[in-house]
Amino acid sequence: MTTGAGQVLPQPTDDRAARLAARAGFGAGVAGALANMLLVAYAVLAFVRPGPVQAALWPLACAAAGTSAVLLIPMVLVLGGGSLVSLGVASLAFSAVAFLMLITGLLAPTAGASLLAGCGIGFATWLFLVCRGGNVPPRAGRVGRRAGVAALVGTALLAAGNIALPTSSTAWLAVLVLGGIPAVLGWLAVPAWSLRVARWLRQDGQGGAGRYDEDGNRVVGRDDQPAA
């Protein structure tokens, strides 16, 4: 329900779990941002100056991305989403395993890309549906919905193009651009969403449920709410 003071949001009932998820969410946001920066640098160097420096960035990016995926799991468990929880947890867990196997060479890049695309589609679906359900503050919800849609559509287009179209064909390049742009924008926004929600969860763990403004700042605490 929305009033002039803010919005009453559903809150995790276990403050300890909320605090744990907040800490993990901060770590996931930082690790995810680091992974994004390393992947961008890796892609740029592939065109500008391929070599040992560029090659060294790939395992570092995979390690950061895998760490981010693992640290997002507590946040998924706290935010819930009913039957969607298993989708979010499974997507993140398989992503972490895939990144680990890519680092160690146990998984070929082609197979790893297919597995990560499936995991990405699963997590993006969870992100969009949970944020649409009002489980997070309004502004974080908007960021999550937009990131989820962009990542979902872009990743699905890329996966379909790689499966159905000949590599380096004109159609494949078109799909690469059309899917790549929203996918990149969506996944770049996920760490920002994680940091915003982690901040909100930390406030919840410290003060409990209440009214929250669009930024997730608590306006009225649990004990300050008027009786029904």
- How confident is the model over 189-208, as pLDDT tens digits? 999 999 999 999 988 654 44
- Letter for the amino acid at 83? S
Q: How many domains does the chain have?
A: 1
The predicted structure's pLDDT at residue 5? 41
DSSP code of 214?
Answer: T
Residue 223 domain-assigned (yes or no): no
Residue 53 domain-assigned (yes or no): yes
DSSP code of 83?
Answer: T
Contact 45, 85 (CB under 8 A): no
Give the confidence band of 97 by pLDDT, cuts at 50, 70, 90: very high
Q: What percent of the chain has pLDDT over 90?
A: 60
Residue 228 domain-assigned (yes or no): no
Residue 139 domain-assigned (yes or no): yes
Mean pLDDT on 63-71: 97
Helix (H, G, I), strand (E, B) or coil at 115: helix
Mean pLDDT on 168-195: 93
Give the confidence band of 215 by pLDDT, cuts at 50, 70, 90: low
Q: Domain limits at 151? A: 13-212
Residue 185 domain-assigned (yes or no): yes
Residue 62 domain-assigned (yes or no): yes
Structure tokens at 199: 């901040």
The rounded distance, in Å, linking the Cα atoms of 12 and 16 is: 9
Residue 99 domain-assigned (yes or no): yes
